[in-house]
Amino acid sequence: MNTKQRNNRFSKKGHPNKSMLKHAFKESFLKLDPRNMIKNPIIFLVEIGFFITFILAIFPDAFGNSNVEYWFNIDVSCILLLTVLFANFAEAIAEGRGKAQADSLKKSKIETMANLIKGLGQIDIVPSTKLKKGDVVLVSQGEIIPGDGEVIEGLASIDESAITGESAPVIKEAGGDFNSVTGGTRVVSDQIKVRISNNPGESFIDQMISLVEGAKRQKTPNEIALNTVLISLTLIFLLVVVTLPFFTNYLGFQLEIPVLISLLVCLIPTTIGGLLSAIGIAGMDRVTQFNVLAMSGKAVEAAGDINTIILDKTGTITYGNRMASSFTPLMEMPKEEFLNWVSLSSLKDETPEGRSVLQLIGQLGGTIDEKDLENAKIFEFKAETRMSGVDLQSGRKIRKGAVDAVKEWVLEQNGTIPANLDSETMVISKEGGTPLALAVDHQIIGLIYLKDTVKPGMKERFEQLRQMGIKTVMCTGDNPLTAATIAREAGVDEFIAECKPEDKIRVIRYEQGQGKLVAMTGDGTNDAPALAQADVGLAMNSGTSSAKEAANMVDLDSNPTKLIEVVAIGKQLLMTRGSLTTFSIANDVAKYFAIIPAMFMEAIPKIKILNLMHLYSPISAILSALIFNAIIIPLLIPLAMKGVTYKPLNSNSLLKRNLLIYGLGGVIVPFIGIKVIDLIVSLFI
């Protein structure tokens, strides 16, 4: 399942291609506009530094007497410009990826002609862009649905591959939970009437385009708070640098303006300042690559904070269809004969239950022989009879189905009911299984134990979630016994049996009342209130439009298990932000030891003892620190895009790991980096 999701058409845009790079390159220059830069005060300060040193490069004495060599001003201004460009590039490339996704979406938004039904059955042909909310259109076989809406009449199979990448058509019909259709999808068979649910420009695809394009991107609460702290640090360092000349002036020596600017730029958190918005955009992007559409960055952030996940049992935790897990013979007969009867009953049964019966026979070592079925009469499973069966050429009759239905059939044949049938049926029911009875002629020969099977790997994932401190709650319509059995098998923390939609809201409210954040999936109209109540509500694209409206995320593949991935992406986004912030701030230690001795060495020669890295000269030390400060931004862009490696561990192990890599690494890496750059720079001085 997972590989299929990853192979959808978005993932091709996952890695930046040439044209995207080119576009980002152009954008990083366009973004130099101060009116735009001021939105990122940290990088804006670097740009001001660039302007000042640029003026000094042309007029060295513009701000008073200066003793620095002219090329030093040029070098510093160039590096500062590069720093700003790199930061812009990081943002542009993240936006570019979103744009590429938006472009491919726009392609699916072909303008079509719609058959607008006016009163009295009159039909007008209008362009799809003219459709308003509430309009009713008729869509026939082969036509493209002109806009998002609900089927109000008819039934049709629809190819939704333009949205989901899934080629198998889906059935949509009026009423019930499968009545919502998406604009841009194609009707493959039959004809439906659709009531349009959005005004022009507000459709699902429109929303999606504006979201992935980043046009409507708003800073998330955590981003705003982090920005506040970063700006405060920037101001502190601005204070340090602005007051420094007063101290040196008292001591009788002057500091050059480009040197002071270099110190400032190195100390302010340019690395995280340059990458912060790219991290946010990339996080949204990763969600989209999973074919999940998040309505806001806030929702993705909230996903990282989730404490409780509410999952439906059927289709999410289990396959939903019931699989044969054992047989109970009710009559004395050889094992081979019994298995032979079972296999005959199921050879022509195409339902998943039938397939699973044959699979079980294979596992039990029974042989499957189709010879006996020659010229047999097949009865397919029907809802009215609740049985399937075969009448063999030899005249023998086999029936398989719901216990009471088979019982009735046997009695009609004047057959007998085994004395232990009821008790054995009870045993299976109590264990949460579904019993099927198997009858041959006028005798019930045994029972087939059907069991709802937990999807492989679910148990491990719930265990991982538990390690991360996330509780899973399973909702099911099953009776408490069945629910308990599945819950135990799947390893969920809690379950709600005989669950009604109101129960979900109740659980969500209860959990939220304890301060927890809750995530859930849903598709039906009756899920809508719960989806709205949840902090992260993931609606299935196949679901009703009211469910999609209530949710803050929509899964285009309609795979409810993805909620777990969404939580992981949210956590990864936050971890990336935290790790790069820590890294950026830890870098200051090395930069201090590069620049401070360089600044004062001339006036106070003995300070060279603080030149821990043995940098070549004051000038080379300053330039090396500045260059390191600049190139670390593009070097970290891939990490910002991809996110730091995410492992589902508990908080302490995660912290230890990330602190070691990004905290300690953040202290050590610049010492090495600056030294290496200095070795190269010294060759040119």
What residues act catalytically?
312
Residue recorded with tokens 């050059």: 256
Q: Which of 58, 123, 215, 604 binds other proteins (CB under 8 A)?
A: 604
Amino acid at 156: A
For the record, the structure tokens of 136 come out as: 């009713």
Please choose, out of 62-70, 393-401, 606-614, 634-642, the segment that lies near other proteins by the rule CB under 8 A: 606-614
Amino acid at 293: L
Binding of other proteins at residue 596 (CB under 8 A)? Answer: yes
Round to whole Å and give the CA distance between 428 and 224.
57
Burial 197-236 (b: 16+ CB within 10 A, else e): bbeeeebbbbbbbebbbbeebebbebbeebbeebbebbee
Nearer to other proteins, 3 or 243 (CB): 243
Query: ∠ CA 12-17-21 to the nearest 5 degrees?
Result: 140
Please choose, out of 47-55, 345-353, 414-422, 597-605, the segment that lies near other proteins by the rule CB under 8 A: 597-605
**Burial class of residue 388 in the structure, from the number of CB atoms within 10 Å of its CB (0-12 exposed, 13-18 middle, 19+ buried):** buried
| 205 φ/ψ angles, rounded to the nearest 5 degrees | -65, -40
Nearer to other proteins, 185 or 220 (CB): 220
Q: What are the distances in angstroms from CA 605 to CA 403, 590, 600? A: 97, 20, 8
| 584 φ/ψ angles, rounded to the nearest 5 degrees | -60, -45
Q: Which of 77, 581, 620, 624 binds other proteins (CB under 8 A)?
A: 581
Q: Which of residues 414-473 bind other proteins (CB under 8 A)?
A: 466-471
- 50 Cβ partners below 8 Å, 6+ apart? 77, 80, 81, 84
Binding of other proteins at residue 516 (CB under 8 A)? Answer: yes
| Contact flags string 211-250 toward other proteins, x per CB under 8 A | ----------xx-xxx-xx-xxx-xxx-xx--xx-xxxxx
Q: Minimum distance between the CB of residue 509 and other proteins, rounded to whole angstroms?
A: 13
Nearer to other proteins, 128 or 581 (CB): 581
* # residues near other proteins by CB under 8 A: 72
Q: Which of residues 543-572 bind other proteins (CB under 8 A)?
A: 570-572
Q: Which of residues 79-98 bind other proteins (CB under 8 A)?
A: none
Nearer to other proteins, 41 or 200 (CB): 41
E strand segments, 29-135: 113-117, 123-127
Binding of other proteins at residue 535 (CB under 8 A)? Answer: no
- How many C-beta neighbours within 10 Å does residue 303 have? 30
CA proximity to 290, closest of 502, 629, 10? 10
Q: Minimum distance between the CB of residue 285 and other proteins, rounded to whole angstroms?
A: 18
Binding of other proteins at residue 400 (CB under 8 A)? Answer: no
CA proximity to 626, closest of 85, 263, 239, 237? 263
**Burial class of residue 489 in the structure, from the number of CB atoms within 10 Å of its CB (0-12 exposed, 13-18 middle, 19+ buried):** middle
Q: Minimum distance between the CB of residue 664 and other proteins, rounded to whole angstroms?
A: 10
Nearer to other proteins, 163 or 599 (CB): 599
Q: Which of 24, 344, 507, 585 binds other proteins (CB under 8 A)?
A: 585
Nearer to other proteins, 106 or 466 (CB): 466
Q: Which of residues 465-494 bind other proteins (CB under 8 A)?
A: 466-471
Q: Which of residues 194-213 bind other proteins (CB under 8 A)?
A: none
Q: Minimum distance between the CB of residue 421 and other proteins, rounded to whole angstroms?
A: 48
Q: Minimum distance between the CB of residue 618 and other proteins, rounded to whole angstroms?
A: 14
Q: Which of residues 269-328 bind other proteins (CB under 8 A)?
A: 301, 304-305, 307
Round to whole Å and give the CA distance between 375 and 141.
39
Cross-strand pairs, 157: 171, 189
CA proximity to 638, closest of 217, 214, 278, 212? 278
Q: Which of 414, 606, 614, 684 binds other proteins (CB under 8 A)?
A: 606
Q: Minimum distance between the CB of residue 663 and other proteins, rounded to whole angstroms?
A: 7
CB 595 within 8 A of CB 240: no
Q: Which of residues 609-668 bind other proteins (CB under 8 A)?
A: 609-610, 646, 650-652, 654-656, 658-659, 662-663
Nearer to other proteins, 92 or 519 (CB): 519
For the record, the structure tokens of 84 come out as: 């700003």
Round to whole Å and give the CA distance between 267 and 617.
20
CB 438 within 8 A of CB 445: yes
Nearer to other proteins, 191 or 307 (CB): 307
- 504 Cβ partners below 8 Å, 6+ apart? 310, 475, 496, 520, 522, 527, 530
Binding of other proteins at residue 44 (CB under 8 A)? Answer: no
Binding of other proteins at residue 514 (CB under 8 A)? Answer: yes
**Burial class of residue 189 in the structure, from the number of CB atoms within 10 Å of its CB (0-12 exposed, 13-18 middle, 19+ buried):** middle
Q: Minimum distance between the CB of residue 639 and other proteins, rounded to whole angstroms?
A: 14
Nearer to other proteins, 490 or 517 (CB): 517
Q: Which of 313, 548, 577, 675 binds other proteins (CB under 8 A)?
A: 577
Q: Minimum distance between the CB of residue 28 and other proteins, rounded to whole angstroms?
A: 27
Q: Minimum distance between the CB of residue 311 and other proteins, rounded to whole angstroms?
A: 18
Q: Minimum distance between the CB of residue 652 and other proteins, rounded to whole angstroms?
A: 6
Binding of other proteins at residue 258 (CB under 8 A)? Answer: no
